Amino acid sequence: MKTRRADRLVDMTHYLLEHPRKLVSLNFFAERYETAKSSISEDLAIVRRVFKTRGTGDLKTYPGAAGGVFYTPLMGEEEATAFVDEVIAEVSNEDRVLPGGYVYLSDLLGQPDVLRQTGRLLSTEYVGEEIDAVMTAATKGIPLAQAVASELNVPFVIVRDDAKVTEGSMISVNYLTGSSKRVEKMALSKRSLRSGSRVLIVDDFMKAGGTIQGMQTLVREFGGTVVGTAVFAEGRSNVRLIEDFTSLLHVETTPDTTGQIKVTAGNYLSRIYQKKD
């Protein structure tokens, strides 16, 4: 059934938002709305203009029989700064300080709006990058990894500290924790990640970075490449095992029971926005 332009614009925008980083042919939309491709092109020009004005994302059209339209979710610097400032205000609560200088973040990372915006923000760094999967370690990083993977439109894989019979054959590595200097083990099912995959590592909180370094080692065991590393928050550590990462928050806490906390912006501005200038 032929569709009116206003209805097309609403449905087309919804479809693009639900299918990020996927090439959609103009023929698909033309058949979906029983409309000429010339009209679809005009509609897409409107959507592109609104996306650009609102900072929603980038919409590119590729000509030719194999072409189409490709939507990339983005978050502008102004929106990102406002979002991170809100999160800083929320985290700057002494009740969040846990023993060992860790910070309670589970309530924030359980809020759909926070996860959605964090996913948009962290994925903005990887415009134009080929990424095959997002990796995280069980369990607190799972919702964050899922949010980023959703914006990138790729699978996410979960590294565990023990083998599960339901996972089949596993590849495991030993790694050294940065804070306690203990040797730990992590494993990933052979079926979870294709050999040679390009992987983005995401986690909720990082101190020394031992867990993330272990995941980097595990990616190499699969013959893959670590495209980047992103964390929701980084804590202060006397030992830093990795230096190449992006963080939204930097958290300073006292290891005793006083509960003092200082939260500032992480390095996301220089990593995401100034790098693109």
**If you write DSSP's letter for every residue of 151-179 in order, what string do you get?**
HHT--EEEEBSS--GGG-SEEEEEEE-TT
| pTM as predicted | 0.92
Span 125-151, mean pLDDT?
95
- The band of 236, judged by pLDDT with boundaries at 50, 70 and 90, is confident
Spatial contact of 195 and 224, defined as CB atoms under 8 Å apart: yes
What local confidence, expressed as pLDDT, does residue 255 receive? Answer: 65
All residues at 6 or more sequence positions from 267 whose CB lies less than 8 Å from its CB, including other chains: 246, 247, 250
What local confidence, expressed as pLDDT, does residue 258 receive? Answer: 65
Q: Are strands 102-103 and 97-98 parallel, antiparallel or unpaired?
A: antiparallel
Confidence check: pLDDT of 257 > 60:
no
What local confidence, expressed as pLDDT, does residue 165 receive? Answer: 74
What share of the chain has pLDDT > 90, as a percent? 78
Which residues are 229's β-sheet partners? 201
Confidence check: pLDDT of 2 > 80:
no
Span 45-60, mean pLDDT?
95
Q: What is the number of other CB atoms lying within 10 angstroms of the CB of residue 43?
A: 18
Span 235-254, mean pLDDT?
90
Q: Which of 259, 201, 268 is nearest to 233 (CA)?
A: 268
